[in-house]
Amino acid sequence: MSIVEVDDLRKQYDPPKGVLAVDDVSFSIEKGEIFSLLGPNGAGKSTTISMLSCLLRPSGGDARICDHSIGSDSQAVKESIGVVPQDIALYGDMSARENLHFWGVMYGLTGDELARRVDEVLELITLTERQKDRVDKFSGGMKRRVNIGAALLHKPQVLYLDEPTVGIDPQSRRAILDGILELREQGMTILYTTHYMAEAQELSDRIGIIDHGKLIALGTHEELVKLVGEKTEVHLGVDKHLHEVAETWRGIAGVGSADLEDEGMLASLLVDDANAVLPAIFLAAETAGVRITSLNVVEPNLETVFLHLTGRALRE
Amino acid sequence: MRRIWALADKDLLQTRRDKLAGLFTIIMPIAFTLFLGLIIGTGEQAYPLVLADQDKGDAARELVRGLRGSEVVSVEVVGVKEVDERVDNGQAAAGLIIPKGYSEAVAAGRPAELTVVRDAGSSGAQTAEQEVRTLAGQQAVQTRAATAATEAVAQAYGIENADRLRRDAAQAVAQSLSAPAVTVGTVQSGSSGGEVPSGFDLTSTGMIINFVLFSTMTAGVALIMERRSGTLQRLLTTRASRGELIGGKVLGMFILTFIQQILLIGIGALAFGVDYFNDPAALLLVMISLSALVSCLGLLLATLFGSEQALIAATVLISMAWAAMSGGWFPLEITGPTFSAIGHVWPTAWILDAMRGIILKDYGVVDVLPAVGYAFAWAAGFFLIGVWRFRSTEK
Amino acid sequence: MRRVLAIAWKDLRSIYRQPSALATMLAAPLGVALILGLAFGGQGSFQLQPVTTVVADLSAAPAGTDGADGADGADGADGADSAGAPDGVQRSSAVLVDVLTGKELDDLIDATRVKTAAAARRAVDDGEAAVAVIIPAGFDDAVSGTGGAQTQVEVYTDPTQQIGPAVVEGVVRQVVVEINGARAAATAAARLGTVATIGTAGDIETIKAAAEDAARRFVAGGGGEGVVIEARAPSLPGSAASNDPGITGIVLAGQLVLFTFFGASIAARTILVEQEEGTLARLFTTPTTRGSVLGGKFLLAYLTVLVQSIVILLVGWLAFQIDWGSFAPVAVLVLTGCAVACGLAMLIGAFSRTLAQEGAIGSGIFLVLALLGGNFTGSFASGGVASTVSRLVPNGWLLAAWDTAMRGGTVADIALNVLVALAFAAVFFVVAAVVLRRRFA
């Protein structure tokens, strides 16, 4: 049985005519898995997380977290989850340690266990030396780390992270992503929302693509790519007109199509496996006396998957 | 100028949309003023006086009759134990106990005792006590006059049994005092000549000061919220100059407080007959100076404090202190001369005096100019400091 | 319970670290009490500054004139043995002038003399004096005459002042009562003399002498001291002789009650602050129940104002020498007052959406409650309507109870007030809890 099971979850604000923010979303997450909800801003990611956090009451459907229903057993759900909100939600006039201590109490920790966990989390987020400093004096990245740490104190079975890397520097982002991978190694189940394709691709065991409240695709990265049958794009710039060479390229096994642009000076090829066909492409060009001046290989990615499924770019 | 108007308009729009805050900036002062006005009424209220007559003699009954006929007190006769209770729990302004033997002492020309029960700190109690003293004193005068006449005539004519003389003297004295040779007439200066000003004439102006001062909070908080949300910084990246930004903020606050004054003055004038419009030009000048003062103060406070909480705290403190020391809560005439002088350091005291002068003393433009000038001087000071703070903090 | 305490403690420390909060909760009430104490001279009652008065005595001028055109008012004449006054009796106008300008009433009246009625009125119109007393021409003749002519002393006042003119008017009336009394004595003696000599060859001189004698006797105080009035504070059976809390005590009690409202609102405001900063939503994602969160906020507000109240009481006792009363009623009142303040603050917070709203609404409501309940005027409430109105608001009941406690009352004496105040608090809290639960459901 999955640790998270979401079943036709629905949320409409101000029914009957209000916005349908989440429209019959269903998915499940296995224990120890990182599951990403990928979608543009306003897709319904945060609304979904809010319902799974028992902050918002669903308009329809249900979800079970660790076999507890979000509708009827919210207290038990909250004991099983840790939530890292999108915006920093800490007490600025309190130190890092004081913040963690307080949130630990809120999660039910007491006494020595609480103190120990605070130390451990401070170590995990590498802020042991700054533990007595007020949070409002921290950099954005440091605040994010405390923000995450506060959700880990009680060792939740499922961790929700709602776009945790928005607006921070690349180094801090890298540190957060590494930390998440480390948590997965420790067996934590993670529900991660993002609009960054690269993050979803790097972190996730499975990805759900959400748009306009609907889950439009679900699977591993490879499955999603294959789902839409995208090939690798190879873009070549040359010093001569390519019409004859293009015909030759079309005949190479593994090359689906070859289109010319810019009066024959640019070629775009769709291929099954770039590594396999590039030698043949280069040989054909050399034979035709055409010199290749630029090469760009674009692997199929979620951006293209999204574009294929919705007709829009992920980052519009 | 266009940008200044646009900025002010935006602030007023936000205030209008914040219905709850607007309600309490505009509606509540009006509602409270109406309520207070209805309570204070014409100011001619009779203070409740509870009375226990343990004597029941002629003089006692005479005194009770006199008190019942008074316009200053309204008498209720109760048992002696109730007198202290009723005064203690505030149901009566004062209590009077006429002890046994009062009438006999009065008739015999001996000192007659009365007991007044009151809270010394209460103005109503003091008024009621004074009325008792006045009427009792009049009764004593009658007795003294009758005794003096009796003794003089008895001596002049060698009359030994003066009882009948005493009765006749009392009648003659009463008759003489019923049409006294000397009366006292009170006349008020100014347009209220011949009228007794209502308590609301003076209270209404105090209320305006109180509530307008509190409005600095709403206006100041708006600036702080702009700073917090980042829109202020964004404005600073546009072509709008700092001067235009400040001008727009101050103008918005000015309009808000001016509207507030219009409403409160309108209520006072239309509902309670307060003569605000004795000199409309003078009134307009005073209103403009008050709004200018308060809006510049709001600007200054908003530049001094970084959080809503701090601003609210400062506004509460300043508003209460100024209102108290300016005569908005109680007349400065009942404080010592030092306090009254200190109170008149604040421009709000001058504005209050000017408003009351317009209502009660036929003040015109020339008469209010000193108050208006003083208020504008303070406003200018606040404005300059506020601008300096704004420039140095909003980089 | 642990979560409730943790929430309360977290915010309590934060609040008492904020200078603005400390200023509102502690500096403000003590400052206002200090201001008002200075205004009213500390522990005593009102200290009225001497009322500037101008006196125009036109009595020597012919009746109907205004003192102009050379027919000036008497200027310094003592009036003794002037026409119309019996031997040994001062002229009536001089009596009035002497009373107003004499040293005995120096602390009440600061009087100067002017020559004409117009000058006297002008002094008031120009704000140089609060009152003008104009003794009309022909005054003494009217007093001493037998023709029944009446005369009127005009008291011309500045309408923007109430108490000073009332004091001067009171003095004038008292003197006029004495003048009328002397005249009545003389008139009565003359009538009695006339009656006594009916049918005999009585002489006018004897009657006149008797009349003059009667007037003298009256002025000399013949006939006794009149009425002696003992004025005292109310005392209730079973309680000790009442203490007089003094103006400062009354005022500080009023400020204590008022500023606990502000103190509680600072605490209740943390709900809005947390909502705006996102920590409230985060709290709701933890196993902490909404009831615990709200309970923590209420406990925070209660502890905030409890500390505030204790500090104010201590400072009042140490610095202003205020005797707050016996421990039991004081403790009961503090605990009750805190409950009322918290309930009210939570109610306002429940209906507010933003900090700005809460600040504007709360401050306005507190000001109105204070004005209705008498927080600024204390026991100046004069009974009647004002007293009734003060019973409509919880702080009115609390202030009345504080007044009783400071005068030596016991818990039993304040029981009704406490119960009513607690009822208010209960209603506030219940409504606040319902609204907040719905809002954060």
* pLDDT tens digits, one per residue of A25-52: 999 999 999 999 998 888 999 999 999 9
Residues of C in contact with A70 (CB under 8 A): none
* Subunits with 3+ C-beta pairs closer than 8 A to B: C
Contacts of A103 in chain C (CB under 8 A): 282, 286
Record the tokens describing residue C232, joined without a space.
């005292």
Q: C177 at the B interface (CB within 8 A)?
A: yes
CB contact under 8 A, B151 and C222: yes
Residue range(s) defining the domain that contains residue A31 = 4-226
Report pLDDT for C78.
39
Residue A18 has pLDDT above 60, yes or no: yes
Give the pLDDT confidence of A124-143 residue by residue, as tens digits: 898 999 999 999 899 888 99
The pLDDT tens digits for B52-75 are 999 999 889 989 998 998 888 889
Nearest CA in chain B to C93: B182
Q: Do residues A235 and A118 share a domain? A: no
Residue B297's pLDDT is what? 92
Judge if A62 and A120 occupy the same domain: yes
Chains C and A touch (3+ CB pairs under 8 A): yes
* Residue of chain A nearest C282, judged by CA positions: A89
Cross-strand pairs, A6: A27, A63
Would you call C206 an interface residue with chain B, using a CB distance cutoff of 8 Å?
A: yes
CB contact under 8 A, A75 and C289: yes
Q: Are A230 and A305 in contact (CB under 8 A)?
A: yes
Of A174, A200, A226, the one marking the end of a domain is A226
Same domain, A146 and A32: yes
Q: List chain C domain ranges.
A: 2-44+249-439, 51-187+196-219
Cα–Cα distance for residue pair B345/A239, rounded to 1 Å:
88
Q: Do A110 and C2 touch (CB under 8 A)?
A: yes
For the stretch C358-408, pLDDT in tens is 887 888 888 888 888 877 665 444 455 667 778 889 999 999 899 889 988
B345 to chain C, any CB pair closer than 8 A? The answer is no
Mean pLDDT of chain B: 83
C228 touches chain B (CB under 8 A): yes
Chain B interface mutation, best of C95, C173, C178, C192, highest count of B Cβ atoms under 10 Å: C192
Angstroms from A264 CA to nearest CA on chain C: 56
Tokens of C348: 């306002």
Q: Which residues of B touch C161 (CB under 8 A)?
A: 331, 333
pLDDT at B42 over 60: no
pLDDT for C335 equals 96
In terms of pLDDT, which residue wins out, B162 or C349? C349
CB B325 within 8 A of CB C36: no
Spatial strand order of the sheet with A68-69 comes to A20-29, A4-12, A60-65, A68-69
Residue reference for tokens 């125009």: C56
Residue of A84, A93, A105, A166 to mutate for C, most C C-beta atoms under 10 A = A105
Cα–Cα distance between C134 and C97 in angstroms, integer?
A: 10
Token look-up 């042991």 returns A128
| Lookup: tokens for B365 | 């433009």
C200 touches chain B (CB under 8 A): no
Q: How confident is the model at residue B40 (pLDDT cuts 50, 70, 90)?
A: low
Query: Tell me, what amino acid is at C167?
Result: V
d(CA C310, CA C330): 10
Tell me if chain C has a CB within 8 Å of the CB of B230.
no
B36 interaction partners in chain C (CB closer than 8 Å)? 371
Are residues A288 and A186 both part of a single domain?
Answer: no
Q: Which residue of B has its CA nearest to C225?
A: B111
Q: Phi-psi bin for A303: left (phi > 0), alpha (psi -120 to 50), beta? A: alpha
A207 and A294, same domain (yes or no): no
Rounded CA-CA distance B323/A214 in Å is: 60
Do at least 3 CB pairs under 8 Å connect C with B?
yes
Poorest-pLDDT segment among A292-296, B17-21, B291-295, B371-375: B17-21
Domain count along chain A: 2
User: What contacts C103, CB < 8 A, 6 or more positions away?
Assistant: none
Please answer whether residues B141 and B63 qualify as being in contact, where contact means their C-beta atoms are separated by less than 8 angstroms: no
* DSSP, residue by residue, B29-80: HHHHHHHHHHHHTTS-PPEEEEEEES--SHHHHHHHHHHHT-SSEEEEE--H
Q: Does B127 touch chain C (CB under 8 A)?
A: yes
Same domain, A101 and A164: yes
Res A233: pLDDT: 83
Q: Is A307 inside any structural domain?
A: no
Chosen from A106, A110, A144, A166 to mutate, greatest number of chain C CBs within 10 A? A106
Does residue B145 carry a pLDDT above 80?
Answer: yes
Q: Which residue of C has its CA nearest to B17?
A: C357
pLDDT at C69: 41
Tell me, yes or no, whether A120 and A241 share the same domain.
no
pLDDT value of residue C198: 67
Q: What is the pLDDT of residue C82?
A: 41
User: Which of A195, A226, A257 finishes a domain?
Assistant: A226
Q: Quick one: pLDDT at residue C225?
A: 55
- Contact status of B93 with chain C (Cβ, < 8 Å): yes
Same domain, yes or no: A158 and A274? no
B190 vs C contacts (CB less than 8 Å): 125, 159
CATH of the domain at A275: 3.30.70.100
Cβ-Cβ contacts under 8 Å, B321 against chain C: 31-32, 35
- Give the neighbours of chain A: at least 3 Cβ pairs within 8 Å: C
Q: Is B24 within 8 Å of C365 when comparing Cβ atoms?
A: yes
Is residue A314 domain-resident?
no
C375 inside 8 A of chain B by CB: no
More confident residue, C333 or B220: C333
Are residues A204 and A236 part of one domain?
no
Average of pLDDT values for B156-167?
A: 81
Of C6, C282, C287, the CB nearest to A75: C287
pLDDT band at A94 (very low <50, low <70, confident <90, very high): confident
Q: Which residues of chain C have pLDDT under 70?
A: 37, 39-48, 62-90, 146-148, 198-202, 222-226, 236-244, 376-386
Q: For the domain bounded by B47-191, which CATH number is listed?
A: 3.40.1710
Which among C215, C70, C54 has a CA at the least distance from the CA of C135?
C54
What was the pLDDT predicted at B292?
95
Q: Where are the domains of chain B?
A: 2-41+196-393, 47-191
Which positions in chain C touch A51 (Cβ < 8 Å)? none
Quick one: A144 and A43 in the same domain? yes
Q: What is the mean pLDDT of residues A105-120?
A: 91
Question: C237 to chain A nearest CA, in Å?
Answer: 55
Predicted confidence band of residue A192 (pLDDT cuts 50, 70, 90): very high
Answer yes or no: is pLDDT of A313 > 60: yes
Q: Examine the pLDDT at B335 and tell me if it is beyond 60.
A: yes
Check: CB of residue A232 under 8 Å from CB of residue A272: yes
Q: What is the mean pLDDT of residues A298-305?
A: 78
**Is pLDDT at A84 greater than 80 in this prediction?**
yes
Mutation site for A-interface testing, chosen from C285, C288, C292 by largest number of A Cβ within 10 Å: C285
Tell me how close the Cα of A98 comes to any Cα of chain C, in angstroms: 9
- CA of C436, closest CA in chain A: separation in Å? 15
Same domain, A210 and A110: yes
User: For residue A190, what pLDDT is reported?
Assistant: 96
**In chain B, whose CA is at the least distance from the CA of C400?**
B89
Percent pLDDT > 90 in chain B is 25
Look at residue A305 and tell me if it is in a domain: no
The answer to whether residues A153 and A248 belong to one domain is no
First to last CA, chain C: 21
Find the CATH number of the domain harbouring A91. 3.40.50.300
Question: A with C: how many residue pairs have Cβ under 8 Å apart?
Answer: 55
Question: What is the 8-class DSSP label of residue A188?
Answer: -
% of chain A residues with pLDDT over 70: 96
A236-258: average pLDDT: 83
Name every chain A residue with its beta carbon within 8 A of the beta carbon of C282. 83, 85, 89, 103, 150
When mean pLDDT is compared over A298-302, B142-146, B218-222, the highest value belongs to B142-146
Report the mean per-residue pLDDT for chain A.
Answer: 88
Give a yes or no: residue A284 inside a domain: yes
Among C278, C284, C287, the residue with its CB nearest the CB of A108 is C287
Name the band, by pLDDT with cuts 50, 70 and 90, for residue B227. Answer: confident
Q: For residue C374, which of B124, A150, B302 has the smallest C-alpha distance?
A: B124
Residue A204 contacts C, CB cutoff 8 Å: no
Give the residue on C whose Cα is nearest the Cα of B119: C233
Per-residue pLDDT, A279: 93
Distance CA A195, CA A204 (A): 13
Q: Is residue A310 part of a domain?
A: no
Pick the CATH number of C51-187+196-219 from 1.10.287, 2.60.120, 3.40.1710, 3.30.70: 3.40.1710
Query: Residue B118 and residue C231: Cβ atoms within 8 Å?
Result: yes
Q: How far is C8 from chain A (nearest CA, A)?
A: 11
